[in-house]
Chains A and B, each alone.
Chain A
Amino acid sequence: MDIADVSRAAARGLKRAAPALVSVILILLGWEVYVDLSGISATALPAPSRVAEQGWQARAVLAENALATLTATLSGFAVSLACAFVLSVAIDFVPLLRRALFPVFVISQTLPLVAIAPLVVLWFGFGLLPKILLVALVTFFPMLVALVDGYEATDRDITRLLRSMGAGRGQVFWRARLPSALPFFFAGLRISITYAVVAAIFAEYAGAARGLGIFILNAKNNFRPDLVLAAVFVSSALTLALFALAVLAQYMSQPWRRA
Chain B
Amino acid sequence: MTLRLDDLRLTRGVTHVLDGVSLEARAAEFISILGPSGAGKSTLFELLLGSLEPDGGQISFNGQPVQGRDLFAFMPQRDALMPWRRVIDNIALGLEVQGLPRRAARERVRPLLPRFGLDGFERHWPHQLSGGMRQRAALARTLVQDRPLLLLDEPFGALDALTRTRMQRWLEARLQETRVTTLLVTHDVREAVALSDRIYLLSPRPARVVEVFDVPQPRPRMETGPGEEALALETRILRTLLEGERE
Contacts and interface: CB of A to CB of B under 8 A. Distances in A.
Given A175-B97, A254-B84, A164 B72 contact: yes
Interface in B76-95: 76-78, 80, 82-85, 93-94
Interface in A63-94: none
For this complex, into which size category does the number of interface residues on chain B fall? 20 to 34
Nearest to A176: B82
Interface in B122-157: 124-128, 145, 151
Nearest to A161: B80
Contacts of B151: 164
Contacts of A165: 69, 74, 93-94, 97-98, 145
A164 B77 contact: no
A244 to B, nearest CB: 23
Given A157-B78, A157-B80, A179-B82, A164 B69 contact: yes
A123 interface: no
Interface in A160-176: 160-167, 171, 175-176
Interface in A107-160: 155, 157-158, 160
B214 interface: no
For this complex, into which size category does the number of interface residues on chain A fall? 20 to 34
Contacts of B69: 163-166
A259 interface: yes
B87 to A, nearest CB: 11
A74 B84 CA distance: 29
Contacts of A163: 49-51, 69
Interface in B35-80: 46, 49-51, 68-70, 72-74, 76-78, 80
A256 B127 contact: yes
A230 to B, nearest CB: 44
Interface string A175-212: 11001001000000000000000000000000000000
B97 A155 contact: no
Contact of B74 (A155, A161, A182, A259): A161
A142 to B, nearest CB: 23
A160 B73 CA distance: 11
A155 B83 CA distance: 11
A5 B127 CA distance: 20
Contacts of A179: 82, 84
Nearest to A167: B97
A165 B99 CA distance: 11
A160 B49 contact: yes
B97 A162 contact: yes
A254 B93 CA distance: 19
Given A160-B46, A179-B82, A256-B83, A166 B97 contact: yes
A171 B76 contact: no
Given A166-B97, A166-B98, A161 B84 contact: no
A179 B85 CA distance: 10
B125 A166 contact: no
Nearest to A162: B97
Contact of B128 (A158, A166, A254, A259): A259
Interface of A: 155, 157-158, 160-167, 171, 175-176, 179, 182, 254-256, 259
10 contacts: A155-B80, A161-B76, A163-B51, A164-B151, A165-B145, A166-B69, A166-B70, A167-B97, A256-B85, A259-B124
Across the A-B interface, the 10 shortest Cβ-Cβ residue pairs: A164-B74, A157-B80, A157-B76, A256-B125, A165-B97, A179-B84, A165-B94, A167-B97, A164-B49, A158-B80
